[in-house]
Structure 1
Amino acid sequence: MIRRVATCAALGLALAGQAQTASAAPFKPEGTPKVAMVLYGPRTDGGWSQAFEESRVRTEQALGIQIAVVEGIKESASAIRPAVELFIKRGYNVIIGTAFGYSDAFKELAEKYPKVAFLNGSGTTNGPNLESFYGRTYESHYLCGMAAGAVSKEGKLGFVAANPFGVVNWTINAYEMGARQINPKATTTAIYTGSWNDPVKERAAAEALAGQGIDVIGQHVDTPTPQIVAQEKGIHATGHHRDMKEFAPKASVCSLVWFWDRYLIPTIKKIGAGTWEPSPYGAFLSIKDGGPDIACCGADVPKEAADRVKAERQAIIDGKKVYGGPLADRDGKERVAAGATLSDADLWKMDWFVPGVVTQR
């Protein structure tokens, strides 16, 4: 999830080569790591912020440390700076942010406090003591699309999407591509809500999809509302951010799940050891690298299909590229040549769809 990415391409440019200041030597903190996390939303929001909170707890347990946390810090410098500077005043020297909208403020704070390490989930800014990080969410949605294709009776899938940005479009495309691994005739109809977190709009979109005869609903929005609607309608669904079967145990068959601790634990260890060298382009994490994984598969997914999902997951870990060529869009235009792989820059600015995707707004 990336909050209010009005210029989503900015993140793609940053990760694909926009000039940033690289560190000349590994970052060395003053003293042992004392870590704090700044949450965008409430730690019990059921989605994005709760996924960070759960990873915070796992990181504490793995490292034997305590990580202070403040929640509900919105994307404005007037909210971010006081919260972060209070932590720094109290001796915290590793600050973890959790929002795209923290990017500029974190850049300024990192420059002001060069002895403090800054990490920012879904950010765009980087520097000698600052690294933004995000995940290759399309890998997990590709796998969940396979599960969706396996439980769909008619091959008619739906997708409740937030905004028509590359970071969302790549999940929709991957979802359809995964579904067609199981059912070559599967289609995915996507409805954009125009918001990352709006249960009312998400319910309206999910109900509209169900009304069209769609029997599996995927999502790239924050709340579990699409899962809840699917269960109410007696159909299936796949989730985003966390294992959504918590909210719809009968409907949910697969979810993208963030395991931020897989990135945070080794990174904090490196910071403590004085060996951390933040990437000048940020960290763009695959499943193998500690990015988003899956919780799969629900009881209604046939064993043969579940085994195929597991095999494809392993193939991705072993190097398979979801966006490997040949690949054409739904208008027949070649987007990836045979033997090639879609670049990260092209991923971030994705504004096209694969065959089988129907978009509605």
Structure 2
Amino acid sequence: MRKMKWSLTSVCLFLALIVLAAGSVIPQAAAAEEKFKVAFIYVGAVGDAGWTYAHDLGRKFLEKQIPNVETSYVESVPEGADSERVLAELAEKGNKVIFATSFGYMDPVQKVAARYPNVVFMHCSGFKTSKNAGTYFGRDYQGRYLSGIVAGKYTKKNLIGYVAAYPIPEVIRGINSFTLGVQSVNPKVKVKVVWTNTWYDPTAEKEAAKSLLNAGADLIAMHQDTPAAMQAAQEKGAYGISYDSDMRSFAPKAVLTGPVWNWGPYYVKTVKSVMDGTWKSGQYWGGLSSGIIDIGPYGSMVSESVKKLVAAKRNVLMKDEGYVFAGPIKDQSGKIKVAKGKRLTDAEMLSIDWFVQGVEGNIPK
């Protein structure tokens, strides 16, 4: 029987081969475990029970649907220089996709995107795009219109108060579509607007709602990030139309319903497209048919007849995205802004700067 003889050189060579083999396996295992990093930047706190809360639900949904995705977020980031700094920090941390979830992040997104061409930036509700920065939003006016139908059926004084954040097209469009929904079932109603000039300030929101209730409104609608306006309505024995998420638990005796956001499926679709290399910059504006926007659950006080009325109109909007802003539509002065047989285009809706007839209040310049 032949005996195998090992020289010192042979042993060293054998050990080296083992190390090389092991070395080739370890990086592959690490690569398999490497997470695809996605970040979110929020203007409010995740506990606001409204706008930011809804986006954060979408973030959590994303992580559950794509296990290889690791998400992070930075909350309560002011719009402006602070947001530019945070966006850059998130890009430096290796995030491949960054979702900026407030209108005021628009210019900072463009600046930072230019510095990080290999990162995809998605800006919510804005209108500026670049090669690696797109925009996304939902046709909020559809949910607003449907909630207006409910409000029109439940006001007795024919005066509805509207607590509004900033005089930007997004908010103006919401006020107009809500008012058109109200007037579709109750043409006598007026919608009175008070501006807070803040997205997240529970105290200011509540005080604005109180001022409207003291002025005679018996129902409060809102474009704010917290349930404070709804709580003011309940304290006064009035009804409310909430926004962003289901706010019934915060004011169960007041909240009739309200438009709600479902960002999760869109976040999943977008991140998957980046991961598989099919993402392209553009402007996304999905409606009821996409599921990104809808009317939320109803309060116990809403009748079946009103629910059926809304359901019927919802079916119309599912098939006709331009229905809400179909003419004839007059502005506050009585001037025809949309002629009979005409409709506002997407570009006109996204830049709207006038109130429809029936709205009381001014749009600050």
1:91 and 1:327 map into 2 onto residues whose CA distance is 49
Q: 1:216 aligns with which of 210, 215, 219?
A: 219
1:84 CA displacement: 3.8
2:83 and 2:253 map into 1 onto residues whose CA distance is 40
Task: Name the aligned partner's letter for residue 76 of structure 1.
Answer: G
Structure 2 residue matching 1:194: 3-state secondary structure:
coil
Aligned to 2:259: 256
Q: 1:113 aligns with which of 101, 116, 121?
A: 116
Q: Could you list the per-position Cα deviations for residues 331-352 of structure 1 after superposition, in whole angstroms to 9, with x for gaps in the alignment?
A: 2211112222112332234333
1:32 CA displacement: 7.6
- Percent identity of paired positions between Structure 1 and Structure 2: 35
Task: Name the aligned partner's letter for residue 260 of structure 1.
Answer: W
Task: Name the aligned partner's letter for residue 118 of structure 2.
Answer: K
Aligned to 1:231: 234
Q: 1:194 aligns with which of 177, 193, 197?
A: 197
Residues 1:332 and 2:325 aligned together: no
1:359 CA displacement: 1.8
Aligned to 2:304: 303
1:35 CA displacement: 1.4
TM-score, with structure 2 as normaliser: 0.82
1:71 and 1:332 map into 2 onto residues whose CA distance is 43
Aligned to 2:161: 158
Aligned to 2:361: 359
1:77 and 1:191 map into 2 onto residues whose CA distance is 28
Structure 2 residue matching 1:66: 3-state secondary structure:
strand
Q: 1:67 aligns with which of 67, 71, 77?
A: 71
TM-score, with structure 1 as normaliser: 0.83
Task: Name the aligned partner's letter for residue 341 of structure 1.
Answer: R
1:220 CA displacement: 1.0
Structure 2 residue matching 1:230: 3-state secondary structure:
helix
1:178 CA displacement: 0.9
Counterpart contact for 1:230–1:251, Cα < 8 Å: yes
1:158 and 1:228 map into 2 onto residues whose CA distance is 14
2:154 and 2:173 map into 1 onto residues whose CA distance is 22
1:163 and 1:77 map into 2 onto residues whose CA distance is 19
- In structure 1, list runs of 5 or more residues that go unmatched: 1-30
Aligned to 1:76: 80
1:85 CA displacement: 4.1
2:94 and 2:196 map into 1 onto residues whose CA distance is 42
Structure 2 residue matching 1:205: 3-state secondary structure:
helix
Aligned to 2:143: 140
More displaced, 106-115 or 309-318? 106-115
Q: Judging by fraction of residues, say which structure has more helix.
A: 2
Aligned to 1:348: 350
Residues 1:268 and 2:286 aligned together: no
Q: Could you list the per-position Cα deviations for residues 310-338 of structure 1 after superposition, in whole angstroms to 9, with x for gaps in the alignment?
A: 22122111114210112222322111122
1:360 CA displacement: 6.3
Q: Could you list the per-position Cα deviations for residues 111-146 of structure 1 after superposition, in whole angstroms to 9, with x for gaps in the alignment?
A: 222222111223343122211222322211111111
Aligned to 1:173: 176
Structure 2 residue matching 1:72: 3-state secondary structure:
coil
2:356 and 2:112 map into 1 onto residues whose CA distance is 41
Task: Name the aligned partner's letter for residue 192 of structure 1.
Answer: W
Larger CA Rg, structure 1 vs 2: 2
More displaced, 51-60 or 148-157? 148-157
- In structure 2, list runs of 5 or more residues that go unmatched: 1-33
1:250 CA displacement: 1.2
Higher relative contact order (CA 8 A, sep 6+): 1
1:154 CA displacement: 3.1
Q: 1:48 aligns with which of 36, 48, 51?
A: 51
* 1:6-17 equivalences in 2 (<5 Å): none
Counterpart contact for 2:83–2:105, Cα < 8 Å: no
**When the two structures are aligned, how many residues end up with a matched partner?**
328
Residues 1:322 and 2:324 aligned together: yes
